[in-house]
Amino acid sequence: MIVFDKLKKIVKEKGAGFIVLIDPDRKNDKKLETLVENANCSGVDAILVGGSLMMDGRSHDRVARIKDIANIPVIFFPGGVGQINEYYDAMLFMSVISGRNPHYLIGEQVIAAPIVKDLGIEAIPTGYMLLDGGSATTVEFMSGSLPIPMDRPDIAIAHALAGQYLGMKLIYLEAGSGAKYPVPIETIEQIDRETNVSLVVGGGIRTPKEAAERVNAGASFIVIGTAIENSSEIMAEFAIAIHSKD
Ligand code: 1GP
């Protein structure tokens, strides 16, 4: 697992990893190159590419363009099996473990598995947990799954533990892209205390301070999408914050 080993090394050396999410559907065609070039030289550790919906037929081209310029791993963040292509270095092989929709628990994965094998993409087993970030999200609608209430860390802990026992290498705590509220610090602390699995935290994190607080609470990786879409300069500030674990 070349990319996963790289990610583990980053956490060991820097305390936590900074992952930038590029949604190829964000109408960011004109600034795609700039975004990736900035990521290359701003201390970003990896690029996640994906989204719940693809609204045109050019998303594979965009991934090829990203891969062409990136000098850091480009990892697929799947919204559906139709988004797979050969340009990725690895993928989060995810199951929406907070949901009860069998299609997103195992259905998509069964369709995807032979394609992933054929393309030789490194699959990183990931338990994806949707937590209520205060607003309805695309992923909630598309996956037909209810988010875990934010004031029920006990439910979140039980899901994360189940993911760990099922062999997930990462647990992704997702508040949803552009969420009103990011995953609370206390929830991350409690899940980190009760489990023994690397936590990826994303959704609604708008400032380097919010990112640093989540690293100090136990997040191994922070994913930032919306906050860097319009201001690439902030990337370097996020990198410093995420790589300065207390
Ligand atoms: C979404 O966690 C990511 O899957 C990033 O969310 O766009 O709110 O940063 P934001």
Residue 155's identity, in one-letter code, is I
State CA 108 to chain mean position distance.
18
Q: The CATH number of the domain where 42 resides is what?
A: 3.20.20.390
CA gap 246, 242 in Å, rounded:
10
Answer whether 0.95 is exceeded by the pTM. yes
pLDDT score at 27: 63
Tell how far the Cα of 22 is from the centroid of ligand 1, in angstroms.
9
What confidence tens digit (pLDDT) does each residue in 127-170 have? Answer: 999 999 998 888 899 999 999 999 999 999 999 999 999 999 99
Q: Are 30 and 235 in contact (CB under 8 A)?
A: no
Give the Cα separation of 102 and 112 in Å (integer).
15
Domain count along the chain: 1
Q: Which domain holds residue 65?
A: 3-242
Residue 5 Cα, ligand 1 centroid: separation in angstroms? 23
Query: What is the whole-number distance in angstroms between the Cα of residue 205 and the centre of ligand 1?
Result: 7
Q: Provide residues with CB under 6 Å of ligand 1.
A: 21, 174, 177-179, 202-205, 223-227
Q: Which two tokens stand for residue 170?
A: 């990462």
Cα–Cα dist 123/212, whole Å? 28
